[in-house]
Amino acid sequence: MSNFKIDMREMNNINVIDLKGYLDAHTAPELEKAFQDLLEGKKFRIVVNCRDLTYISSAGLGVFMAYIEDVRKNNGDIKLSNMSPKVYNVFDLLGFPLLYDIAKDEAEAINKFNTLQY
Amino acid sequence: MAKFRKKIKNVFLMGSGSTLLLLVFLSDVAFRRGGEIGVGWITLLRNLFVLVAFLEFYVVIESLWQSGQNITKKLGFALVLTIVVGAASSLLFIVQPSGFDIKNYSLIPLGFDSIVWANIYGVVLSMTMLVMLLILRDIIFSRRRKGTSRNFIILIGFVAATALSTLANKSMESSLLASVLFGCSVLAIVLNSFRLSWIVYLSKREKIISIVYGFLIFCLSIGFDIITSKGTDTGKSLLFYSQPLQSFASTMALFSTIYFGMTFISTLFHLPTAEAFERKTSEVSSLHNLSRLVTQVFDFNELVDSVTTMTLEVCEAKSSWLEIIKTAAPAGLLGKGHRGLEVVTSAPKNISQEEIHAIMNFRGEALRDLVISERKPVVIDSVKNDKRTKHLADVKVNFSSMAVVPLLSHDQVIGILYATKGVEFGFDRDDVDVISAFADQATIAIENSRLIEKSLERERLMREMMLAQDMQRKLLPQELPRLWEVDLEALSTPAFEVGGDYYDFTMLDENHLGILVGDVSGKGVSAAFYMAEMKGIFQSLSKIYREPREFLSKAHDTLVGTIDKRSFISLIYGVVDLRCGLMTVARAGHCPMLFVSRKTKKAEFIKPVGLGLGMGSRSFFERTIMQENVQFAEGDIAVFYTDGVTEARSEENGEFGYEKLMEVVRSAVDKSALGVREAIVTAVDRHMDHKPPEDDLTIVVMKWIKRNNNHGKNISEKKDEQLQN
């Protein structure tokens, strides 16, 4: 499926991943690679902006779970932001809000990084 | 019958022809002893008789003629014919008949014997030339192109016209018309004499034969030109017999002189290229054979064997062998050497495996690497002097030049074909081309056998998959628990061969029914494995840890060590007390349970907090999971399901969603558990426009049918509510 897109930005030592479209078993490897690249580059302060994410499947959720441990071990975090109610519901069903910082918007997520030092 | 009629016809034609010729002979004896008959019409009639007789003979010969013979045989026949007629002419020379006197364009026989000899000689020579014409026709027609038959017919037309124009002439009389027509005939002869393309296709041996034959016939034909010309005694005999026949015979003699002269010369010029042509032909035919083998024979060894054998035969190589590379080199490794390659030597010809090993092990791999990285044939003209093979001087090799050709498939080198020759500079461009062609065939053979191997493997996997599907079906409950307190219905349809959805029931004791619905993340085989593990965990732990919250925590403990980081299992687990209709529900990241009250028609999603199984640490999971109690009254319905229901989507309608599920169940609340299940399935199917589902879909419906005192209220208590035992 080509209706999935990842954009990466870096601002103030925080890396923002913009997700767009349909994140499922077919497109999950792309996100996986994005995380891998960040970790290889020792970038552990990551915000995933889900504003344009329309759907996420269990395989997509699995990608976040695969990297959270490594990121936190390195005093970093993966924070999620700008979720639509529908996407939030999927994260919520699985209990993601218990494990992950889910912010209302990107600024809030970045702010959390800046105020709370790991 | 037809054969018999043909025979009769031939006998009649021969008979009448002979009779006509006899009549001519008798008339000659009777009237021409003293010289030419002055009256033109008698000459005309006599000539017509002769012509008709020969036409009849022609028809007979043509009907007995066999066209489909080998050209060299035809040439041999022509040679024999010319020799026979040459002998006949010589005989005439030896016998020395009295001869003729010329007077006013007329020939006057000087003796009776002259008349007899003229008759015999005229008949024999003309018949011979008739047969010669047929031979020439067959040779020219053996390779036809545009205009071949047209040109030949034009020639015959001119020859016939020349002959006919002299029909009424006296023996020595000549006309301008006849001369012009004769000139045209000569032009047509020259034109037809360029039809020599058959020479190209002769084998070397046949070419030599045709040079010898062509030369002999050419020489004899010159003799004919002389003996049929007007100036000689033999020519005069012919003229006396019939001027049209003399005209025909001399033109034919000229034709055969020119044509066989041309044959001789062009065969001579073709001789040096005969070998190359023969090789090309054998290349084409061996390639043809090979490609036929590739499509017909699936025996890999037999195919590579014929590849090296043909390389040997066609290129006259000293030895040949094939290397098959099992693991093609990834692009990044190119240039760094390919020591990791798995190389198998196959079908060595005239060389032992030991010799190949010796060659290849002693830095011979450099040669292999070169071919792999170049992906082009490499030719070593001199093994001794070439720096790429200089090292082979230390290894005893019995060849002096080498051709090394890669087997390319999708730009990957999957093998290498080697050929060697005993002489230096042994491989020319043609050799490399033909070896490359053989290499291509070998590539196809290797690809074919790999594809077959792959398809067998695929078939085996398919069978395994079917087995897995069957096994998985058996993991789901084969029958529903039969209880009078509740009406139960369940359905699970995997979207792929094996799915990740799971549901199960268990009786914790006689009063407590456990209902479990789950979904393993991902699909296919891995999901099915986790599901099987889950089944084991459920059946063993549910009876020990009776509280849903507790059970899910323990299940998490068990799973978290084995499950992949990216995977998780979402579960919802309800335990219902059959005595009072109180259900305790705990949820591990799964879709919430739908509860619909029959009395109030109120629908509610029961969604206690809880992480998916396999997520978070043990203590964190245990700390966060909650459970809720739900009180059932008569007719109340609980629906457990997987996201295959709520996330069923179509282009036009979007996702099925929770609201719609709620609506469907609410409007089916009076139906049985089966009725509710069918209502959901029908609604989802309609939503999907009857397309097959993309995800596994599982529905478990429980309808409380026991009339209990405790009716009415349903209790939804969050947090740590203890299950009453």
pLDDT band at B37 (very low <50, low <70, confident <90, very high): low
- Residue B552 sits in the same domain as residue B685: yes
Asked whether the beta carbons of B600 and B620 are under 8 A apart, the reply is no
pLDDT band at B714 (very low <50, low <70, confident <90, very high): very low
Q: Is residue A1 less than 8 Å (CB to CB) from chain B?
A: no
The least confident of B241-245, B535-539, B586-590, B613-617 is B241-245
Phi, psi of B689 (to 5 degrees): 55, 40
Work out the minimum CA distance from B363 to partner chain A, whole angstroms.
40
H-helix or E-strand containing B222?
Answer: helix B204-228
Which range is most confident: A9-18, B58-67, B593-602? B593-602
Asked whether residue B724 carries a pLDDT value surpassing 90, the answer given is: no
Q: What is the pLDDT of residues B212-235, one digit of tens each?
A: 988 998 998 888 888 888 878 788
> Is residue B10 situated within a structural domain?
no
Q: Which domain holds residue A13?
A: 4-115
Q: Which domain holds residue B393?
A: 300-453
pLDDT band at B336 (very low <50, low <70, confident <90, very high): very low
Q: What is the pLDDT of residues B396-418, one digit of tens each?
A: 778 888 899 999 888 888 889 99
- Residue B435 sits in the same domain as residue B497: no
Number of domains in chain B: 3
Q: What is the DSSP-derived secondary structure letter of residue B326?
A: S
- Say yes or no for a CB contact (<8 Å) between A94 and B612: yes
> Is residue B715 situated within a structural domain?
no
The least confident of B339-353, B467-481, B540-554 is B339-353
Please indicate whether residue A116 or residue B286 has the higher confidence score (pLDDT).
Answer: B286
Asked whether residue B337 carries a pLDDT value surpassing 50, the answer given is: no
Q: What is the pLDDT of residues B125-160, one digit of tens each?
A: 888 888 888 888 888 888 888 888 888 999 999 999
Across-strand partners of B586? B573, B627
Chain B partners within 8 Å of A73 (Cβ): none
Asked whether residue A54 carries a pLDDT value surpassing 70, the answer given is: yes
Q: What is the pLDDT of residues B450-468, one digit of tens each?
A: 888 889 889 998 888 888 7
> Is residue B235 situated within a structural domain?
yes
Using a 10 angstrom Cβ sphere, with 0-12 exposed, 13-18 middle and 19 or more buried, the burial of residue B650 is middle
H-helix or E-strand containing A28?
Answer: helix A28-40
Closest chain B CA to residue A61: B566
The CATH number given to whatever domain includes residue A61 is 3.30.750.24
Asked whether residue B646 carries a pLDDT value surpassing 50, the answer given is: yes
pLDDT band at A49 (very low <50, low <70, confident <90, very high): very high
Asked whether residue B334 carries a pLDDT value surpassing 70, the answer given is: no
Q: Which two tokens stand for residue B620?
A: 């964190």
Asked whether residue B333 carries a pLDDT value surpassing 70, the answer given is: no
Average pLDDT over residues B545-564: 91
Average pLDDT over residues B43-54: 84
Distance of alpha carbon B454 from the chain centroid? 19
- Mutation test of the interface with chain B: which of A33, A57, A58, A92, choosing the one with the most B Cβ atoms within 10 A? A58
- DSSP codes of every residue in B67-122: ----HHHHHHHHHHHHHHHHHHHHHHHHH----EEEETTEEEESSHHHHHHHHHHH
- Residue B174 sits in the same domain as residue B254: yes
Q: Which residue has the tokens 């296709």?
A: B201
Q: What's the pLDDT at B51? A: 86
Q: Is residue A8 less than 8 Å (CB to CB) from chain B?
A: no
Average pLDDT over residues B351-363: 77
Q: What's the pLDDT at B171? A: 67
Q: Which residue has the tokens 């034709």?
A: B255
Cβ-based neighbours of B419, under 8 Å, separated by 6 or more: B311, B312, B315, B317, B319, B320, B402, B403, B405, B427, B431, B435
- Say yes or no for a CB contact (<8 Å) between A62 and B567: yes
- Residue B411 sits in the same domain as residue B549: no
The CATH number given to whatever domain includes residue B507 is 3.60.40.10
Q: Is residue A61 less than 8 Å (CB to CB) from chain B?
A: yes
E-state strands within B646-709: 649-650, 654-655, 697-704
Across-strand partners of A5? A20
* C-alpha count within 13 angstroms, C-beta hemisphere, residue B113: 6
Please state whether the predicted TM-score (pTM) of the whole model is above 0.90. no
The strand pair at B697-704 and B486-493 is best described as antiparallel
Work out the minimum CA distance from B549 to partner chain A, whole angstroms.
15
> Is residue B472 situated within a structural domain?
no
- Residue B368 sits in the same domain as residue B415: yes
**HEC per residue, B589-639:** ECCCEEEECCCCCCEEEECCCCCCECCCCHHHHHHHCCEEEEECCCCCEEE
Work out the minimum CA distance from B567 to partner chain A, whole angstroms.
6
Number of domains in chain A: 1
Which range is most confident: B114-118, B278-282, B506-510? B506-510
Q: What's the pLDDT at B711? A: 44
Asked whether the beta carbons of B499 and B523 are under 8 A apart, the reply is yes
- Residue B214 sits in the same domain as residue B317: no
Using a 10 angstrom Cβ sphere, with 0-12 exposed, 13-18 middle and 19 or more buried, the burial of residue B48 is middle
Work out the minimum CA distance from B297 to partner chain A, whole angstroms.
40
CA distance B4 to B22: 27
Average pLDDT over residues B569-597: 95
Q: Which two tokens stand for residue A74?
A: 């390195």
CA angle A39, A43, A48 (to 5 degrees): 90
Asked whether the beta carbons of B99 and B110 are under 8 A apart, the reply is yes
Q: What's the pLDDT at B574? A: 96
- Residue B353 sits in the same domain as residue B497: no
- Residue B215 sits in the same domain as residue B363: no
Taking the CA atoms of chain A, what radius of gyration do you get in angstroms?
A: 13
Closest chain B CA to residue A62: B566
Chain B partners within 8 Å of A98 (Cβ): 609, 611, 616, 620, 624
Q: Which residue has the tokens 């979207």?
A: B495
CA angle B365, B368, B372 (to 5 degrees): 140
Q: What's the pLDDT at B340? A: 61
- Residue B627 sits in the same domain as residue B490: yes
Using CB atoms, pick whichever of A62, A69, A95 lies closest to residue B521.
Answer: A62
pLDDT band at A117 (very low <50, low <70, confident <90, very high): low
CA angle B147, B149, B154 (to 5 degrees): 90
Cβ-based neighbours of B14, under 8 Å, separated by 6 or more: B56, B57, B60
Chain B partners within 8 Å of A66 (Cβ): 565-566
Average pLDDT over residues B642-648: 90
> Is residue B289 situated within a structural domain?
no
Average pLDDT over residues B330-349: 62
The CATH number given to whatever domain includes residue B313 is 3.30.450.40
- Residue B490 sits in the same domain as residue B401: no
Helix residue spans in B493-617 (DSSP H): 524-541, 548-560
Average pLDDT over chain B, rounded to an integer: 84
- Residue B264 sits in the same domain as residue B402: no
Average pLDDT over residues B538-564: 92
Across-strand partners of B594? B605, B639
> Is residue B3 situated within a structural domain?
no
CA distance B350 to B10: 62
Q: What is the pLDDT of residues B60-115, one digit of tens each?
A: 888 888 776 678 888 888 888 888 878 877 777 777 777 777 776 777 777 778 88
Length of chain B: 725
The least confident of A8-12, B501-505, B520-524 is B520-524
- Say yes or no for a CB contact (<8 Å) between A25 and B523: yes
Q: What's the pLDDT at B40? A: 65
- DSSP codes of every residue in B280-319: HHHHHHHHHHHHHHHHH---HHHHHHHHHHHHHHHHT-SE
Asked whether the beta carbons of A37 and A68 are under 8 A apart, the reply is no
Please indicate whether residue B522 or residue B479 has the higher confidence score (pLDDT).
Answer: B479
Q: Which two tokens stand for residue B186?
A: 């000569």
Cβ–Cβ contacts within 10 Å for residue B548, how many? 29
Taking the CA atoms of chain B, what radius of gyration do you get in angstroms?
A: 51
Asked whether the beta carbons of B383 and B399 are under 8 A apart, the reply is yes
Q: What's the pLDDT at B195? A: 84
CA distance B154 to B157: 5
Cβ-based neighbours of A37, under 8 Å, separated by 6 or more: none
Q: What's the pLDDT at B523? A: 63
CA distance B591 to B658: 10
Q: What's the pLDDT at B363? A: 64
Average pLDDT over residues B694-720: 68
CA angle B208, B210, B216 (to 5 degrees): 110
The strand pair at A14-23 and A45-56 is best described as parallel
As separate numbers, helices (DSSP H) first and strands (DSSP E) second, chain A gives 5, 5
3-state secondary structure of B142: coil
Asked whether the beta carbons of B420 and B320 are under 8 A apart, the reply is yes
Please indicate whether residue B432 or residue B96 has the higher confidence score (pLDDT).
Answer: B432
- Residue B422 sits in the same domain as residue B563: no
Q: What's the pLDDT at B722? A: 42
3-state secondary structure of B491: strand
Q: What's the pLDDT at B588? A: 95
Asked whether residue B249 carries a pLDDT value surpassing 80, the answer given is: yes
H-helix or E-strand containing B419?
Answer: strand B412-421
The least confident of A81-85, B293-297, B377-381 is B293-297
pLDDT band at B725 (very low <50, low <70, confident <90, very high): very low
Average pLDDT over residues B295-313: 79
Asked whether residue B723 carries a pLDDT value surpassing 50, the answer given is: no
Using CB atoms and an 8 Å cut-off, which of residues 63-102 of chain A contact chain B? 63, 65-66, 69, 86, 93-95, 98-99
Interface confidence, given as ipTM, is: 0.89
* Percent of chain B at pLDDT exceeding 90: 28
Using a 10 angstrom Cβ sphere, with 0-12 exposed, 13-18 middle and 19 or more buried, the burial of residue B332 is exposed
Using CB atoms, pick whichever of B519, B522, B610 lies closest to residue A95.
Answer: B610
Which range is most confident: B134-143, B365-374, B707-716? B134-143
Chain A partners within 8 Å of B566 (Cβ): 59, 62-63, 65-66
